[in-house]
Amino acid sequence: MASSFLSSGIIQPLPLRSPDKPQTLFDHLKTTSTFLGSTSKLRSVSLSKPNLPNPHRRSTVVAVSDVLKEKKTKSAASSSQLLITREEGLELYEDMVLGRAFEDMCAQMYYRGKMFGFVHLYNGQEAVSTGFIKLLKKEDCVVSTYRDHVHALSKGVPARAVMSELFGKATGCCRGQGGSMHMFSKEHNVLGGFAFIGEGIPVATGAAFTSKYKREVLKEDCDEVTLAFFGDGTCNNGQFFECLNMASLWKLPIVFVVENNLWAIGMSHLRATSDPEIWKKGPAFGMPGFHVDGMDVLKVREVAKEAIQRARRGEGPTLVECETYRFRGHSLADPDELRDPAEKAHYAARDPLTALKKYIFDNKLASEAELKAIEKKIDEVVEESVEFADASPPPPRSQLLENVFADPKGFGIGPDGSYRCEDPKFTEGTAHV
Amino acid sequence: MAAIFQGIGAAAALPSAKKFHSQSRRFVSARKGSLFVVRSDGRPSLVLPRGAAAKADASATSTASKPGHELLLFEALREGLEEEMDRDPLVCVMGEDVGHYGGSYKVTKGLAAKYGDLRVLDTPIAENSFTGMGIGAAMTGLRPIIEGMNMGFLLLAFNQISNNCGMLHYTSGGQFKIPVVIRGPGGVGRQLGAEHSQRLESYFQSIPGIQMVACSTPYNAKGLMKAAIRSENPVILFEHVLLYNLKERIPDDEYVLSLEEAEMVRPGEHVTILTYSRMRYHVMQAAKTLVNKGYDPEVIDIRSLKPFDLYTIGNSVKKTHRVLIVEECMRTGGIGASLTAAITENFIDYLDAPIVCLSSQDVPTPYAGTLEEWTVVQPAQIVTAVEQLCQ
């Protein structure tokens, strides 16, 4: 029972416990794709694509964008072929503008000495975060890496809570204890924020496991999904492969989203990876693998819809490789000298905000004035978040030991027979533990 | 053997009641930063004051306690696990061969048939990832027990145990708790070779945010297993490969032990011997010899490797003024090293002699039986050390 999703040309393995009907493995290769994901066929992938500006980039995205261009030119007059409604368009635009404006403000604040340490900005990749996360419910979980500010914002964490966290203030979403690389929100189900690449993927797999457990063991009506975001560098890491295996084995409701921006600090993806086409690694583990233009929020959204629905239906995980690019360096400490200016220019021309704006205008979904109003509103939100963070107090000494243990009895019993945490100095943060 | 020493322990005086130990204490719901915690259970759990457990065991004339039942240590672990799984549907087990195979040491035997393959999950061989998966599940509401088939395999999970298990409650500003239990067999066995004979307690002890306990008898194995599962903190429960077949009679009534307390095994006057896990038995064997020679050692099974129970330990030091630590950890950076530092810091005025610490040699455990024997502390060495200490 192949859905249109499965007929997109990606190899689908035989099910582990096969049903009565035998399935031929490559049926779907004969069907045409109605789908805006990658149209690569496993056997006919050609490794050299001369028609791309970056000859080293092995990608089949050209085929997809052709399909989309066709659709776009036809759809100008008829709204039934539009990919988004007006409301959706405005929502997506506002979210991406928030991501961009927030990160730009972070850069300013960093250079003004308001935040410290390693700060990794998301400029250029907004389409991936917005394209995926805006399809989620509040109960769905998001797990990210150190480049997590915008994932948190898209999921609904208030800008002021994120900015405060970056300033290290007590009003931050993690009380100032996490910092840039550890954005968490229980309310919005953002499960981090991880500094080591790859270590968040098992956590995401665990969240998906809980969803399945709730449904199958606790018999609850649960269709929550988890999205795991990570980069191209992570795809060479053991935890990535181990989790692809487990998620596929148990059909966990998770989507693995690869934000392939071609660079892991100064290491080019092509220099680090034997087979750079990451989407192909999905089918090796028994799940569909998709490649999508990550600079186009509408394309991302279409693929995301199918992947998320697939997970909700209990059909298991999907691997989605988003071709994207970061306009800034790896972090604010990165001089970014290795990347070719021509490559940067190529992707700057594909700025996701510009692309969405153009789509909105071309299809008369909103006026210039309305979009400007959104930009102004976001500017105010970001300014306010800085003011809020500035005005917030830093954490007091008493906060030092509070969250080491969920149950502070874990600090043990002191020489006087009482639990350490009963020591009045404990709340002052001066207790010796 | 274990039961006899429990009986001796019954002679210890009851200590002063500690606030957190009264049996039906309820705590007010927590705001961030307050000291009070919500008990995870709605039912009163019988957290015994120290000494009382031993008393219940030894008291033959009490009409309140039932005679109890005999079982082996691995069965006691399973009993504790099963009781907790019956009590709370969020408790689940994951690890290699825990399901259909029943666990490498049969701790989870029969549980998969009873609770299903998802609740007793057979994982692929991917320690770091399934430990991380357990942590993610714990953050989203489940209470997983993660088994390392051999504790040594958890070295592969060090990334997750250190960074995520220990830290995420803190870095998330207290938003997410990680109520996992990580357990498995460790320690030096019978010629298992270097890599299957590891003692990871020394490696994990510095990780902030975790608790570590070591069980040594069927009685404390069941009690600590239950306590670890009920704890809101991540707990690493160290079992020992050679102790799984110990037999003891344990109470029929439900009981949960304290994770933070040490266990008085044999009260005495001359010297405090601090030990845990398998070395407890070498110590008790040496104690027999020492008693015949006229010594009166006080033996304490510290049980809680992190944090140390400085109250029980301190009271003992104040009484005997001499301390011998007997452990299976390596000499360098082991639990004994930390314990020596903690006692010196807190009780230096009460010591009449330097603390002596007997640990395993800093050697990868050899395969040959004779060599293996010489890497761990033997009863004869303990006797000699006490004699020297008490001169």
pLDDT tens-digit series, residues A39-71: 333 333 333 333 444 444 444 333 333 334 444
Contact (Cβ atoms closer than 8 angstroms) between residue A105 and residue A166: no
Complete DSSP assignment for B106-154: STTTTHHHHH-TTTEEEPPS-HHHHHHHHHHHHHTT-EEEEEPSSGGGG
**What is the overall mean pLDDT for chain A?**
85
How far is Cα A127 from Cα A97, in angstroms, rounded to an integer?
10
Task: Band the pLDDT of B65: cuts 50, 70, 90.
Answer: low
A141-143 and A226-231 beta bridge pairing: parallel
CA distances from residue B377 to A420, B78, B301, B328, B353 in whole angstroms, order as listed? 33, 30, 16, 7, 21
Window A:163-202, CB contacts with B under 8 Å: 172-179, 182, 184-186, 191-196, 199, 201-202
Residues of A in contact with B179 (CB under 8 A): 406
Annotation marks residue B127 as catalytic: yes
Contact (Cβ atoms closer than 8 angstroms) between residue B184 and residue B130: no
Cα–Cα nearest to B298, from B317, B285, B281, B282: B317
Task: Locate CATH 3.40.50.970 in chain B.
Answer: 69-251
- Distance of residue A32 Cα from the nearest chain B Cα, in angstroms: 37
Contact (Cβ atoms closer than 8 angstroms) between residue B5 and residue A404: no
pLDDT of residue A433: 61
pLDDT of residue B21: 40
Pairwise CB contact (< 8 Å): A217 & B124:
no
Q: What is the count of residue pairs from A and B with beta carbons less than 8 Å apart?
A: 221
With 0-12 CB in 10 A as exposed, 13-18 as middle and 19+ as buried, what is A326? buried
Contact (Cβ atoms closer than 8 angstroms) between residue A180 and residue A149: yes
Instruction: Kindly report the pTM of this predicted structure.
Output: 0.84
Residue extents of the structural domains in chain A:
67-395, 404-433
* Angle (CA) A343 A346 A351, round 5°: 125
ipTM greater than cut 0.90: no
CATH class of the structural domain B263-390: alpha beta
How far is Cα B335 from Cα B202, in angstroms, rounded to an integer?
6
The CATH number of domain A67-395, selected from 3.40.50.970, 1.10.150.20, 3.40.30.10, 1.20.1740.10: 3.40.50.970
> B2-9 vs B218-230: helix axis angle to the nearest 10?
80
Task: Band the pLDDT of A14: cuts 50, 70, 90.
Answer: very low
| Residue A76 neighbours by CB under 8 Å, 6+ apart | A362, A363
Tell me the Cα Rg of chain B.
20
Q: What is the distance between the terminal CA atoms of chain A, rounded to a whole angstrom? A: 60
Q: Thinking of the domain B69-251, which architecture would CATH place it in?
A: 3-Layer(aba) Sandwich (3.40)
For the residues A360-376, what does the mean pLDDT come to? 96
Pairwise CB contact (< 8 Å): B304 & A412:
yes
Cα–Cα nearest to B30, from A406, A170, A187: A406
Residue B259 tokens read as: 């994770």
Coil, strand or helix: which one is A81?
A: helix
Residue B207 tokens read as: 């990780």
pLDDT of residue A383: 98
Which single residue is written with the structure tokens 């077949």?
Answer: B245
Task: Band the pLDDT of A38: cuts 50, 70, 90.
Answer: very low
Percent of chain B with pLDDT over 90: 83
For A30-153, strand residue ranges (E) read: 141-143
B325-348 pLDDT, tens digit per residue, is 999 999 999 999 999 999 999 999
Choosing among B16, B161, B172, B345, which should be mutated to test the A contact, i.e. which has the most A CBs within 10 A?
B172
pLDDT of residue B252: 96
Residue A136 tokens read as: 């989620």
pLDDT of residue A426: 77
CA distances from residue A91 to A103, A381, B7, B114 in whole angstroms, order as listed? 18, 15, 71, 49
| Residue B111 neighbours by CB under 8 Å, 6+ apart | B78, B81, B82, B85, B93, B98, B99, B102, B119, B120
Which of B140, B169, B346 is opposite residue A403, by nearest beta carbon? B169
Which of these ranges, A149-163, A319-333, B6-20, B342-356, has the smallest mean pLDDT?
A: B6-20
- Tell me which of A8 and A193 has the higher pLDDT: A193
**Is it the case that residue B215 has pLDDT exceeding 90?**
yes
For the residues B244-270, what does the mean pLDDT come to? 97
Contact (Cβ atoms closer than 8 angstroms) between residue A132 and residue A180: no
Coil, strand or helix: which one is A74?
A: helix
With 0-12 CB in 10 A as exposed, 13-18 as middle and 19+ as buried, what is A367? exposed
Coil, strand or helix: which one is A258?
A: strand
